[in-house]
Chain A
């Protein structure tokens, strides 16, 4: 019984590590990072063979099947969390604030971000669309900054996969 539990925990942990790498690998694939995709893929597959053989060698007890499934699900979440922490890449933010757009543009420039303003027309008159391309890791800071000035500002963020030149915070 104890052996079974230890083996189930072993499968859980290994599966968790394996799927963490798998998740990171998919993110690297999407961003076109070939070397990292290879390294993560190799590690992932190596661990996977160990787990699956250990699981199938004595298939049928629920502890280990459960460990396998829990490890899979947990690994996904950990992988997503790590990827979010790494925050590789760039984001293009578009900010619409009918009242405070001038102040937002000015503040962001003072903070050192590159901002481009475009004239637009909203329901209640002239507005500006503020475009700002930032490193993904600066995105949360920028949100807070805009929120401080105008809590009701409308913002969308788009992932930009290829960037050339430019002026970065």
Chain B
């Protein structure tokens, strides 16, 4: 009880929390960059992550009698993961391919996306109830939501799947 009232205990737990948030943010970004094949960024992130980790783990191990340290450590870890994911989502590095299947408005969607400057490939295809249009549209990942809104504006029912692609060679990308 005494411990929970001591400002030092809270301060050290807070410090550990902060360190762990930093190092796990870097670690999460590193994992997501490794998956996209970005070696240089992964190296830099890995280096700093390990550096901060060593400082954080030694601070916890120095004083295990303080349960706040342990909780700060675990909460910092978990929070860092979420912060890293949020940052990565904002950066939205890389490219995705959207595949849009529309039973009636295929050409309309293609026209709209082309007007907006995206490269679209139309493929005639057959669905359960006859001919449909499949559209392939490779875009920068950060444009995903925008393209989805454009498709929705033309055809609410269009079936859209999005998958990550890498690496990309040439092609025509919206500025």
Contacts and interface: CB of A to CB of B under 8 A. Distances in A.
Indicate whether A and B interact. Answer: yes
Contact of B74 (A46, A92, A161, A166): A46
B144 A162 contact: yes
B120 interface: no
Specify the main secondary structure of chain B where it touches its partner.
helix
Interface string A7-30: 000000000000000000110011
B132 A133 contact: no
B42 interface: no
Contacts of B41: none
Given A38-B82, A115-B127, A118-B134, A44 B77 contact: yes
A38 B78 contact: yes
A163 B74 contact: no
B22 interface: no
Interface residues of A, number: 41
Contact of A38 (B79, B89, B125, B134): B79
Nearest to B64: A53
Interface in B113-153: 123-128, 132, 134, 144, 148
B26 interface: no
Contacts of B111: none
Contact of B160 (A25, A38, A119, A164): A164
A116 B61 contact: no
Interface of B: 20, 24, 28, 31-32, 35, 57, 60-61, 64, 70-71, 73-82, 84-86, 89, 99, 101, 123-128, 132, 134, 144, 148, 156-164
Q: List the 6 closest pairs (A to B, CB-CB), nearest first.
A: A45-B77, A41-B78, A42-B78, A45-B74, A162-B162, A46-B74
Interface of A: 25-26, 29-30, 32, 34, 37-46, 49, 52-53, 56, 90, 92, 109, 114-119, 131, 133, 158-167
